[in-house]
Structure formats: structure tokens, C-alpha cells
Amino acid sequence: MKVNLRVWRQKDAVDKGRMVSYVVEDASEDMSFLELLDVLNEKLILSGEEPVAFDHDCREGICGTCSMVVDGHPHGPEKATTVCQLHMRKFADGSTITVEPFRAGAFPVIKDLVVDRGAFDKIIQAGGYISANTGSAPEAHSTPVPKANADRSFAAANCIGCGACVAACPNGSASLFLGAKLTHLGEMPQGQPERWERVVNMVETHDDAGFGGCTNTGACATACPKEIPLDVISQLNHDYLKATVGGRRKKA
Amino acid sequence: MATQVSNRGSAKAPASSAAAPARPKRPRIPAVLLKFVIAVSSVFLVLYLVVHMIGNLQIFWGQTSINEYAIWLRTLLQPVLGWEGFVWVVRIVLAFAVIGHIWAATLLALRAKRARPVKYAAGNKVKGNYTTRTMRWGGVIVLLFIVYHILDLTVGTLNPHGEHLAVYENVTADFAPSRWYVTIWYVIALLAIFFHLRHGLWSAVQTFGWNSNKREPILKAIATGFSGLLVLGFLIVPISVTFGWI
């Protein structure tokens, strides 16, 4: 199949960048979208041009590395699918596809389609952990977890931290990511000691990084390749208000 | 706090000390709290709308009924607050609610603009529903309407009759068939209020942290039903006057 690509090309972080059109004549329907870019890149290399830089790692939809906006949808128009698992059979022969990096002030473009998602690491450093003694594994039955809590925690822990929620959000907010991490730890007994401290620190770091504020549009949950439920943001609001307005956070 | 945390915490310690000089760049109020301001102020505004709508319906009981209702409102708590004192308390609370609501929404809108300096060439195609996309501009329409509405039926300057406390006469003159364009303007503004409330009511529940996946469809249905009833209750008055049913 033939595909017309419009790809964002940007030499480095300071370059202004522009859309460049390419035609891939010999694409196969069974290719993933990243394989299509591989084919394009091989052609570019053979013709002495700079290949299109893009992030990728596992290519099986679980690592959260691939990150691009295809036709205005983060990870492409397919629901609950990362762009590495998006196949060309989902596109019509001869269609024109626009490929851009995730757009957010907190995700500066490094090159072409690669953005720096270090802001997510800072948010995790601010509270995405629990403090536990290492060395001796505790007896598994000593801390029972109700099934409903475990299920909700697991649903939130599906988050692969790809940043599609930020890319989709009209406010450029990372609230779905934030809510996923807080729910994942907050539903577990192990997450309780630092629960109120965690939410305040993570929210502050999130706002510091330049992410916008949530206005409950729900675009994040629609775009999320791991279908993180929107109510994790309700959990985030709940915990934050309880910690601050409700005075649960004890200042050391 | 940094001292008692093990290995992973130490990764945080230098980060927080390095962040200390960069502190001024922090937005003074976290976005979560701004949303809280919007939600709390909206509670006052929605409660007021409910009372306002029910009060309006007095017009169907005739001229004396609604005009006496207007006087009764001003005699409420008169021994304590004096004539019209209660009305002024409500007005001041509403003014604070409106200012807080708009202030927080404006800050969030400005932050949203800064959070995405470069727009998508193909547009942001992630499906959002009509109501959520129109909250900001819909809100501006509602604000313009509120200003007009106060000048029209509170102050009376834009009203053809415009006599203080002659509610029935003011309303019937305002929405007379010859002034059909005023009725249309009210209908448009009330539709904007419907859309604003439909998202806003559910959104407030989410902001207070009481939403869950299970409750979401029910809450959204209640929000739509409630806003629909409220707006219908408001719409029925100008429409009845224009069509001569009153």
C-alpha cells in the first residue's frame, strides 16, 4: 500500500522545526506504524538523508517509550493501542498521515518526534515510591489486601507513563498520570504511611514542571493506551483536598 | 523527612534542595485548589439558580403573587438586616462566588495556554464532547448574559417598563411579542447555561473527589436531567409571555 506521510522534522531542541512530506510506496498492511517509519528511514539513509528520530523500545505495547501523535491522536486513532501496536491495515491505501511529537511545554522536543519526558521522572521522584525495609521479604499473608482495592490498584498500575494523557489534554495536564500513580499506591496498605505527603509533593512537582490544570474534559482517558480510568483524577482531587484543606498532612 | 527515608528517598533529597532556588517559578496556587474554588463557588451559584427558578414560577399565579413575592424577599430577616438586607447578603455572596469562579477559571485557562506552546498541525482530534469544549467561551456568554439580565430586570435600565418592584409589569413588557429578539437572546443564553451546567455539575463532583467509574454514568445523567429541568423552568416564563400564555 502507498502512504503519504507528513512528518515533523526538527534538527535539535533549538531548531524551529517544520512538517516534511514523504511518500512510502511499498508499505505492507501487516506493518506496525513504527515499522513503516523504519522503512521510511532505510530509504532516507540510502539517499543520504537524516533518518526520522523517534522513541521506541519494546514494540509490544508495554514499555511506554513510543510517543507520537498520528493524525491528531496520541498513539494514533486506534483505541487502547500504543503506536507500536498500531497496524497499517487500519489506514486506507493512499491516505495522508500527519505525524507529530507529543506537544507540551513540559515535554520539550529533543529531535524530530523525540520529546524529553523527564518531567514524569521528577513527579515519580517526588512521591511515586513507598519506603520499605529491604533484605527480608515479609510473609505475604501478613498484609491482606481486599480484592476490590487490589483490582483498582492494578487498573491504575497499568499506566506505562507514556505521556499520551498530556499530549491529548487540551490543558496540557498530566493529571491522569498523577492520579494513576496516586491510586496505584493509595489503594494498597503499603502506600498509606506516605499517602498525604505523597499527594501534595507530587501535585506541586507536577505544577512546577509546567503542566496545566485539569478541567475534567476526559480527553486523557480516551487517549490512554492502557485505558486508565478517569476516576483516578477524582481520587487525586480527593486525596489532595483531604491532605491540605482536610489537614491530614502532618508537617514534620 | 529526607533523613528517615531509605535509598529511594535520598534520590529526592538533592532534587528538593536543588529545586529550592527555583521556587519562585512555582504557580502560587496548585491547579487542584483552583478547581476546588470553581467547584465551591458553583455550589452557591447553582443553589441560587434553583431558588431563582422556583421564585420565577410565581408569575403563573398572577400579578399580585409575583409582586408580593418580590416584597416578601426584601422583608426576609428584616428585624436583623433591615429592608432588602437579605437580598443584599445574597448579592454579595453571589458576587464573591462569580469573581472567584472567573478568577480561577482564567488562571487555569492561562496555564493551559502556557502548557502547550506549540499547537498540533493536525489539530487535537481526541474526542471531547461539545459541553466540555465550550466551557470557557460558553462561560463568557453566560457572563455577558448576567450583565444584560441585571441591567434588564434588576436595575431596569434596559427594560421598556423598568419600574422597581413591578416585577409582573417589567417581565410582560420585556418579553412582549414585539420584542421577540429579547426572548430569543434569553433562550440562547439559557441554552449556554444548560451546556455549562451539564458539564459543570458532574465536574464539581469529580473535583470534590466523589466520582468513581461506577457512579460516572449515573452522575452524568443526573447532571443532564437537573440542568435540563432547571433551564426549562427558566425558559417557560419568557416563552409564555411572548406567546401570550400569561
Report whether A226 contacts A62 (CB < 8 A). no
Give residues with Cβ within 8 angstroms of B82, minimum separation 6.
Answer: none
Amino acid at B206: Q
Distances (CA, A) of A218 to A173, A214, A215, B78, B244: 11, 9, 8, 47, 44
* Neighboring chain B residues of A76 at a CB cutoff of 8 Å: none
What's the confidence (pLDDT) of residue B8? 38
CB contact under 8 A, B111 and A98: no
The strand pairing partners of B189, in sequence order, are none
| pLDDT score for A215 | 93
Residue B235 has pLDDT above 90, yes or no: yes
Mean pLDDT of the region B23-42: 85
Contacts of A211 in chain B (CB under 8 A): 115
How would you classify the pairing of strands A3-9 and A96-100? Answer: parallel
Which residue on chain B is closest to A230 by alpha carbon?
B213
Amino acid at position A237, single letter? N
At what angle are helices B180-208 and B31-56 packed, to 10 degrees? 140
Share of chain A above pLDDT 70, in %: 99
Report DSSP state, residue A47.
T
Q: Which band of pLDDT confidence, cut at 50, 70 and 90, is reported for residue B20?
A: very low
Task: Report the pLDDT averaged over residues B208-232.
Answer: 96
pLDDT digits (tens, 9 = 90+) for A15-50: 999 999 999 999 999 999 999 999 999 999 999 999
Query: In this complex, which of A72, A207, A244 lies closest to B31 when CB atoms are compared?
Result: A207
Phi and psi at residue B91, to the nearest 5°: -60, -40
**What domains lie within chain B, and their CATH numbers?**
30-242 (1.20.1300.10)
Determine contact, residues A69/A124, Cβ cutoff 8 Å: no
What does the pLDDT look like over B131-147, one tens digit per residue? 888 899 999 999 999 99
Give the pLDDT band of residue B1 (cuts 50, 70, 90). very low
Q: What does the pLDDT look like over B68-93, one tens digit per residue?
A: 999 999 999 999 999 999 999 999 99
ipTM of the complex: 0.91
Q: Give chain A's residues under pLDDT 50.
A: none
The vertex-B89 CA angle with B85 and B92, nearest 5°, equals 135
Report whether B171 contacts B153 (CB < 8 A): yes
Domains of chain A: 3-111 (3.10.20.30), 117-129+146-243 (1.10.1060.10)
Give the residue on B whose Cα is nearest the Cα of A19.
Answer: B121
Of B4, B19, B32, the CB nearest to A240: B32
Q: What does chain B come to in residues?
A: 246
pLDDT in tens, B38-49: 999 999 999 999
The mean per-residue pLDDT over the stretch B179-196 comes to 97
**Cell numbers found for residue A128:** 511515586
Residue B14 scores a pLDDT above 60: no
pLDDT number for residue A132: 85
Contacts of B10 in chain A (CB under 8 A): none
The answer to whether the CB atoms of A171 and B122 lie below 8 A apart is no
- Contacts with A77 from chain B: Cβ below 8 Å: 125
Of A208, A217, A240, the CB nearest to B128: A217
Mean pLDDT of chain B: 89
Q: What count of other Cβ atoms lies within 10 Å of the Cβ of residue A175?
A: 28
Rg (CA), chain B: 23
Which residues of chain A are within 8 Å of residue B120 when distances are taken between CB atoms? Answer: 69, 72, 100, 103
As a whole number of angstroms, the longest Cα–Cα distance in chain A is 64
B117/A105 Cβ within 8 A: yes
B144-153 mean pLDDT: 97
Confidence category of residue B18, pLDDT binned at 50, 70, 90: very low
Q: Which candidate from A72, A211, A244 shows the least CB-CB separation from B123? A: A72
Minimum Cα–Cα distance from B200: chain A residue? A216
**Residue in A closest to B34 by C-alpha:** A213
Q: Most distant CA pair in chain B: distance in Å?
A: 78
- C-alpha cell belonging to residue B8: 529511594
Distance CA B183, CA A134 (A): 72
Q: Give contacts of B216 with chain A, Cβ < 8 Å.
A: 230-231
Interchain pair B126, A72: CB under 8 A:
yes
Please give the Cα distance from B233 to B246 (Å, whole number): 15
Contacts of B118 in chain A (CB under 8 A): 103
A172 chain-B contacts, CB cut-off 8 A: 112, 115-116
Out of B36, B123, B206, the one facing A233 most closely (by C-beta) is: B206
Does residue A45 contact residue A66 with C-beta atoms inside 8 Å?
no
Q: pLDDT tens across B55-70, in order?
A: 999 999 999 999 999 9
Alpha carbon distance B168, B87 (integer Å): 19
Tell if the CB–CB gap between B128 and A210 is shorter than 8 Å. Answer: no
Closest residue in B to A165 (Cα) is B126
B12 pLDDT band, cuts 50/70/90, is very low
Nearest chain B residue (CA) to A212: B112
How far is A172 from A166, CA to CA, in rounded Å?
Answer: 5
Q: Do A171 and B111 touch (CB under 8 A)?
A: yes
* Per-residue pLDDT, A136: 82
pLDDT over 50 at B50, yes or no:
yes
